Amino acid sequence: MKREEKASVSIMKIICVTIILILISGIGVMAVNNELKDVKIILQNGYEMSVLTGKTTVSEVLEENNIILEENEKTIPDLNEEISAGQSIKITDKSYNEVQIAKISEEGVVTSLDDLLENYAPITEKIVVEQVVIPYETITKNTTESNGNTTNKVLQQGKDGLKEVTYKVRYQNNVEIEKTVISEVVKQEPVNKIVQVQKKVQTTSRGSTLPRTTSGGSGTTYKITAYCPCSKCCGKTTGRTASGTKATAGRTVAASSKFAFGTKLNISGHIYTVEDRGGAINGNKIDIFVNSHAEALQWGVRYLPVSVVQ
């Protein structure tokens, strides 16, 4: 009996050892099949962490490390992409521009992870305050003097004003990509330049379309400016008026809606037709159409009598 008991104990030991060996072999096979790899995780705040993982996709690695994305966050690479040893997972804001720059070689496209991550640069915002000059206007006042030798006289020198403009500026890779005005505060009002000229000798250069002003005419005094078909004056270059006609120098003027299209206006002795409108044309202000921006600048600002031709 003792021999049988000893034999039974020996068999049990062999069976236990065999089971242990089988379990160790299984664990070894699992370890081989689930090879651990070193992966770097870069959080949005710049914090970096290195982890060892046997997971295969980005989402699995984040879940394994208890990392949950916010609604405005994304990962590079995408959540469903596979991750390999030595690769990085970067968590960024969804608004970041995704630009990939690849190097072209004879063998094909060559790039690196560092090259790609450099182009997922964050967008930063800054509040910038700038001092902006407000240019003064030149106002021309006609005189009733008849002496042909009278020359132009500056009654008041002009002086530029100054305003403080606050912008919100967005940068990426230290390059300005957007600039938005937040507020404007006038620090110093401009002082208009006032020039007195002889009324009867006001002429234009040869070939100019600016009308000759005369001493005749009566009516309400209006602020008269000039504009041309360039984009600076009109915001377009079609030459078409608000009434649909083609703007013509010496005929077309822009006036407020109190004057119907087609109304004839006597402006200091010259007859014009209301054919155009303008966002800044309101009240006692009229804009005369001329052929060039140089002529518009030459005209400046004048205060002249205006009456409706019946």
Residue 295: pLDDT over 70 = yes
CATH class entry, domain 203-308:
mainly beta
Distance (Å, rounded) from C-alpha 152 to C-alpha 131?
Answer: 34
Distance (Å, rounded) from C-alpha 120 to C-alpha 69?
Answer: 18
Query: How far out from the chain centre does Cα 135 lie?
Result: 24
For the whole prediction, is pTM greater than 0.75?
no
pLDDT single digits (tens) 36-83: 888 888 888 888 888 888 888 999 988 888 888 888 888 888 888 988
Q: What is the pLDDT of residue 203?
A: 43
Task: Give the pLDDT mean for 243-253.
Answer: 89
CATH topology of domain 125-137+154-193: Resuscitation-promoting factor rpfb fold (2.20.230)
**Is 199 in contact with 166 (CB distance < 8 Å)?**
no
Q: What is the pLDDT of residue 108?
A: 52
Residue 291: pLDDT over 60 = yes
Out of 20-34, 143-157, 186-200, which region has the weakest mean confidence (pLDDT)?
Answer: 20-34
Structure tokens at 115: 């090259």
Q: Of 233 and 302, which is predicted with more confidence?
A: 302
Domain-by-domain residue ranges, the chain?
1-30, 37-121, 125-137+154-193, 203-308
Which residue, among 152, 154, 89, 148, has the nearest Cα to 116 in the 3D structure? 89
Structure tokens at 26: 């299984």
Distance (Å, rounded) from C-alpha 261 to C-alpha 291?
Answer: 21
CATH topology of domain 37-121: Ubiquitin-like (UB roll) (3.10.20)
Q: What is the pLDDT of residue 247?
A: 87
Residue 205: pLDDT over 50 = no
